């Protein structure tokens, strides 16, 4: 297992996957194969297709069969017989973009190196035996520039990661105008492209389309990975579904502007590229300097979309998230935002905390409005000191009162932003991102601080550090409610303005790095107007994220279903909120709101003091139930069963514990139908030889029965309302399956 190099060919493989490429005749790298594991052999030359084709420009005089127009490549560039878009481009002093990076050497090592001393997010290993890394150095002698390509294959995960570094050793200044992280050339175009698209309050909806000739892409140019597109695409065979078939998934570990693209050429072959969006990128690579691309995670699955997702889930939960909270269950929290918005005082917060504690909540989170003169969204961002009119004892005093109740305390920040009506802006108007002599746009009455400036990062670190050190805080919600416009930094030269977006996110990572290092016990949750920056780069620093500002249970079915395509349940902030819902004005049963939120971190976002005693009793039971099941939910194996994107009737998903002895099936009725047909739902992931008791149904079935025949669902009873599924809109149920002690035949 690992990586072998024979006859100028590299073979990366483990038990399930193979990735093969070779050194071509021109000493560049040619791609041969990516997919299901194949037996290693000394020579894979039969995979290299070189045919003489009419009207083709070729690389060598007298050789009409070697053209990069149709030979598959590993990291191609435009300009030397390849007319498709390349993975990189370097502009030189004479204006040329033509390069010739050829193989120089390579090394193979156990383990996986960090990126940029661990500040650039990336997956990792805890033991060197977990993975093998191939580092290949290519050189353009004319430019005296090195390209260092890195591949890591995990031993027991169907994962390959890739990144690239450029090093300028010459005297000439170079300009990177394109520096993507990976390229994979496929043999054909017979795939569907799957992407996660949306907008604020409807993030990560699943979209699919067949590949056709031309370019199909998703991207962001907002200074964030965005709610509109997630930095993920998958290519799936046309017959692939959730449980069967071949699929390739690609996810960029990055939180700013990205491009994910598939180009189908005139020979009907597909080229997938992914990395930093060239539209907003240009990097000055001066003598002795280097540039590091973000990491791409590549997953191949033979077991459908669920198989792909489970590889991503396990990898991100165990080898992307770090620190104390990686292996601990998420605390059950209540957030005051939708309960009070800006209108609160210390007494109101304490009253909510007392009631929350009585019902079993573990963490109280104070959201926006605690600082400066923040009574609306027009003022005080940047002034991170407590409003003593609202909180006479400050954050330190309030946090002590909350923790004395037996709760943990959390606090909201939006460190990347500033209001014009603030002490910070009055003192440092030059600290915002703005184009000289141009009108400045605003969003939510706020402006973006320039994170390319070390003094901005230092200011924020010191002022946040002061609050965190003086108070009893175990959780921080880091929000970001506005995208970048008028992209220009007064801190950068005119030649460096194309570096702004990348330098900005490196600054965000730097602040996260300093805070998480100083406060390793604090659980950070990322937020960006909900799910506007929900990506692997954020998970590296913040183990959970607020996936959407839309807390409506029915809308959350689509959002959580789509998010689960890549991201584990343990990373998904999921709350029970008040009705009518504040985003869509829908009224859903309290039990359904809980039944959706269980499949995530779980918490509440409502005025708990304003509820009836019956509602409080339901919440108390929900919290008790979540405490019993959360370890299995957050660390178990998640399966999608019935998609909200394919049906207007029911949605279903389930989690199976690691030992396969417990399972939780969630079924959700969208709109009720009169006199409905019986539904049979086939379960997955169970041990076929175990006997499972279906709790509350007085029924015991073997795992193979539940998976091959399934269960008739219309007569399942809703526990809290004693209501049968299918007889009302927005009803739901959680079915619990437990293996009997003598569960095997």
Q: pLDDT per residue over 131-187, tens digit each? A: 999 999 999 999 999 999 999 999 999 999 999 999 999 999 999 999 999 999 999
What confidence score (pLDDT) does residue 696 get?
Answer: 84
**Whole-structure pTM value:** 0.97
Q: What confidence score (pLDDT) does residue 742 get?
A: 65
pLDDT class of 721 with cuts at 50, 70, 90: very low
What pLDDT does 335 receive? Answer: 98
- Which of 41-50, 57-66, 91-100 is predicted least confidently? 57-66
CA distance 22 to 3: 13
Are 681 and 642 in contact by the 8 Å Cβ rule? The answer is yes
- Indicate whether 714 pLDDT > 80: no
Q: Are 234 and 266 in contact (CB under 8 A)?
A: no
Phi, psi of 294 (to 5 degrees): -65, 170
Greater confidence (711 vs 55) lies with 711
Q: How many CA atoms lie within 13 A of 219 on its CB side?
A: 18
pLDDT value, residue 719: 42
Count of helix runs (H) and strand runs (E) in the chain: 12, 39
Half-sphere exposure in the Cβ direction for 180 (13 Å, CA): 28
pLDDT of residue 59: 74
pLDDT band at 63 (very low <50, low <70, confident <90, very high): confident
d(CA 186, CA 211): 12
pLDDT of residue 70: 86
Q: Where in the chain is the domain with CATH 2.70.98.60?
A: 2-319
The pLDDT, as a whole number, for residue 679 is 83
Q: Looking at the chain, how many residues does it have?
A: 745
**720, pLDDT greater than 50:** no
Question: Which pLDDT band, with edges at 50, 70 and 90, does 726 fall under?
Answer: very low
Q: Out of 42-46, 427-431, 474-478, pick the least confident.
A: 42-46
Q: Which CATH class for the 2-319 domain?
A: mainly beta
Q: What are 104's two structure tokens?
A: 């120089």
**What pLDDT shows up at residue 482?**
96
Phi-psi region of 734 (alpha: psi -120 to 50; beta: other; left: phi over 0): beta
Mean pLDDT of 447-472: 98
Alpha helices (H) in 212-258, listed in sequence order: none
pLDDT confidence band for 53 (50 / 70 / 90): confident
CA dist 28 and 26 (Å) reads: 6
Tokens of 293: 């691309």
CA distance 575 to 546: 9
C-alpha 177/C-alpha 498 separation (Å) is 9
Q: What is the mean pLDDT of the chain?
A: 95
Q: What single string gives the DSSP state of each residue in 689-721?
A: T-EEEETTTTEEEEHHHHHHT-EE-TT-B-TTT
Contact yes or no for 100/29 (Cβ under 8 A)? no
Q: What residues have CB less than 8 Å from 194, skipping those under 6 apart?
A: 206, 207, 208, 233, 234, 235, 236, 247, 305, 565
Q: Give me the active site residues, please.
A: 479, 549
In the three-class reduction of DSSP (H, G, I as helix; E, B as strand; rest coil), residue 258 is classed as: strand
CA distance 314 to 327: 12
Nearest-CA neighbor of 266 among 83, 26, 30? 83
Of the candidate CATH numbers 2.60.40.1180, 2.60.120.260, 2.40.50.100, 3.40.50.1980, the domain formed by 642-739 belongs to 2.60.40.1180
Residue 45 above 50 pLDDT? yes
User: For residue range 380-404, what is the model confidence (pLDDT) as tens digits?
Assistant: 999 999 999 999 999 999 999 999 9
pLDDT for 54 equals 78
Would you tell me the crossing angle of helices 394-404 and 454-470 to the nearest 10 degrees? 40
Q: What is the average per-residue pLDDT within 77-103?
A: 94
What percentage of the chain reaches a pLDDT higher than 70? Answer: 97
Contact 161, 123 (CB under 8 A): yes
Closest CA to 236 of 179, 168, 303: 303
Q: Are 640 and 709 in contact (CB under 8 A)?
A: no
Q: Which of 188-202, 208-222, 647-661 has the lowest mean pLDDT?
A: 647-661
Residue 473's nearest CA partner among 539, 547, 397 is: 397
HEC states along 418-479?
Answer: ECCECHHHHHCHHHECCCCCCCCCCECCEEEECCCCHHHHHHHHHHHHHHHHHCCCCEEEEC
Contact assessment for residue 381 and residue 418, using Cβ atoms and an 8 Å cutoff? yes
Question: Which single residue is written with the structure tokens 């400050």?
Answer: 394
Q: What confidence tier does 61 reach under pLDDT thresholds 50, 70, 90?
A: confident
What does DSSP assign to residue 129?
G
CA distance 222 to 211: 26
- Provide CATH 2.60.40.1180 ranges for the chain: 642-739
Highest mean pLDDT among 407-411, 710-714, 719-723: 407-411
Q: In angstroms, rounded to a whole number, what is the distance separating the alpha carbons of residues 233 and 728?
A: 37
Contacts of residue 191, defined as CB under 8 A and 6 or more positions apart, other chains included, come to 210, 211, 235, 236, 237, 238, 270
CB 700 within 8 A of CB 740: yes
Question: Which whole number is the average pLDDT over 558-579?
Answer: 98
**pLDDT value for 725:** 47
Outline where 484-535 has alpha helix (H). Answer: 500-518
pLDDT at 707 over 60: yes
Q: What is the mean pLDDT of residues 311-333?
A: 97
Residue with tokens 């890591």: 152
| Predicted confidence (pLDDT) at residue 410 exceeds the cutoff of 90 | yes
Task: Please give the share of the chain, as a percent, with pLDDT higher than 90.
Answer: 91
* pLDDT score of 102 more than 70: yes
d(CA 45, CA 31): 11
User: pLDDT confidence of 415, banded at 50, 70, 90?
Assistant: very high
Which position has the token pair 């269950």?
A: 329
Contacts 24+ apart (CB under 8 A), 538-542: 538/121, 538/255, 539/121, 539/316, 539/320, 539/321, 539/567, 539/571, 540/121, 540/122, 540/253, 540/320, 540/321, 540/322, 541/121, 541/509, 541/512, 541/513, 541/516, 542/478, 542/512
């Amino acid at each position: 297992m690992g990586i072998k190099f024979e006859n100028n060919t590299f073979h990366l493989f483990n038990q399930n996957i193979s990735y093969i490429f070779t050194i071509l005749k021109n000493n560049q790298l040619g791609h041969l194969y990516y997919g299901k594991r194949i037996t290693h052999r000394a020579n894979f030359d039969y995979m290299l297709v070189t045919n003489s084709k009419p009207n083709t420009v070729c690389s060598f005089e007298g050789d009409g069969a070697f053209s990069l127009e149709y030979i598959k490549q590993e990291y191609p560039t435009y300009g030397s017989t390849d007319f498709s878009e390349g993975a990189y481009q370097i502009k030189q002093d004479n204006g040329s973009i033509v390069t010739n990076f050829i193989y120089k050497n390579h090394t193979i090592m156990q383990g996986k190196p960090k990126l940029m001393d661990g500040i650039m997010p990336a997956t990792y290993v805890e033991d060197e035996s977990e993975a093998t890394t191939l580092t290949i150095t290519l050189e353009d002698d004319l430019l005296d520039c090195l390209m260092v390509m890195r591949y890591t294959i995990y031993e027991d995960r169907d994962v390959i990661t890739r990144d690239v570094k450029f090093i300028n050793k010459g005297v000439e200044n170079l300009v990177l105008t394109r520096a993507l992280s990976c390229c994979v050339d496929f043999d054909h175009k017979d795939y569907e492209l799957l992407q996660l698209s949306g907008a604020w309050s409807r993030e990560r909806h699943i979209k699919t389309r067949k590949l056709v000739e031309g370019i199909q892409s998703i991207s962001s140019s907002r200074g964030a990975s965005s709610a509109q597109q997630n930095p993920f695409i998958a290519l799936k065979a046309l017959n692939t579904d959730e449980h069967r078939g071949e699929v390739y998934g690609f996810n960029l570990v990055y939180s700013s502007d990205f491009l994910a693209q598939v180009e189908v050429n005139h020979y009907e072959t597909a080229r997938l590229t992914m990395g930093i969006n060239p539209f907003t990128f240009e990097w000055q690579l001066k003598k002795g300097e280097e540039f590091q691309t973000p990491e791409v995670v590549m997953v191949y699955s033979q077991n459908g979309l669920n198989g792909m997702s489970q590889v991503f889930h396990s990898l991100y939960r165990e080898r992307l998230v770090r620190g104390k909270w990686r292996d601990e269950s998420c605390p059950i929290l209540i957030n005051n935002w939708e309960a009070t918005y800006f209108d609160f005082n210390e007494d109101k917060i304490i009253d909510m905390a007392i009631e929350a504690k009585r019902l079993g909540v573990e963490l109280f989170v104070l959201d926006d409005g605690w600082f400066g003169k923040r009574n609306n969204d027009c003022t005080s961002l940047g002034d991170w000191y407590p409003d003593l009119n609202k909180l006479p004892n400050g954050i330190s005093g309030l946090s002590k009162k909350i923790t004395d109740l037996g709760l943990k305390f959390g606090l909201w920040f939006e460190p990347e932003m500033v209001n014009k009506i603030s002490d910070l802006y009055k003192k440092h108007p030059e600290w915002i991102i703005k184009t000289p002599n141009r009108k400045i746009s605003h969003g939510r009455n706020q402006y973006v601080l320039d994170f390319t400036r070390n003094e901005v990062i230092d200011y924020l670190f010191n002022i946040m550090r002061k609050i965190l050190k003086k108070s009893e805080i175990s959780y921080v919600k880091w929000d970001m409610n506005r995208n970048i416009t008028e992209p220009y930094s007064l801190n950068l030269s005119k030649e460096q303005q194309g570096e702004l977006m990348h330098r900005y996110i490196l600054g965000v990572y730097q602040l996260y790095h300093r805070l998480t290092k100083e406060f390793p016990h604090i659980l950070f949750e990322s937020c960006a107007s909900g799910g506007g920056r929900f990506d692997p780069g954020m998970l590296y620093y913040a183990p959970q994220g607020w996936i959407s500002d839309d807390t409506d249970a029915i809308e959350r079915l689509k959002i959580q279903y789509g998010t689960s395509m890549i991201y584990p349940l343990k990373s998904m902030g999921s709350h029970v909120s008040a009705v009518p819902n504040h985003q869509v004005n829908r009224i859903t049963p309290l039990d359904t709101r809980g039944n959706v939120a269980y499949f995530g971190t779980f918490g509440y976002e409502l005025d708990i003091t304003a509820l009836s005693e019956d509602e409080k009793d339901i919440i108390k039971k929900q919290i008790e139930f979540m405490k019993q099941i959360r370890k299995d939910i957050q660390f178990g194996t998640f399966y999608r069963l019935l998609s909200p994107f394919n049906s207007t009737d029911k949605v279903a998903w389930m989690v199976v514990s690691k030992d396969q002895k417990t399972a939780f099936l969630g079924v959700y009725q969208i709109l009720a139908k009169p006199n409905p047909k019986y539904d049979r739902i086939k379960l997955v992931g169970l041990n076929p030889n175990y006997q499972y008791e279906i709790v509350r149904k007085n029924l015991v079935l073997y795992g193979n029965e539940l998976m091959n025949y399934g269960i008739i669902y219309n007569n399942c009873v809703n526990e809290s309302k004693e209501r049968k599924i299918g007889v009302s809109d927005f009803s739901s149920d959680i079915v619990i399956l437990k293996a009997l002690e003598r569960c095997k035949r």
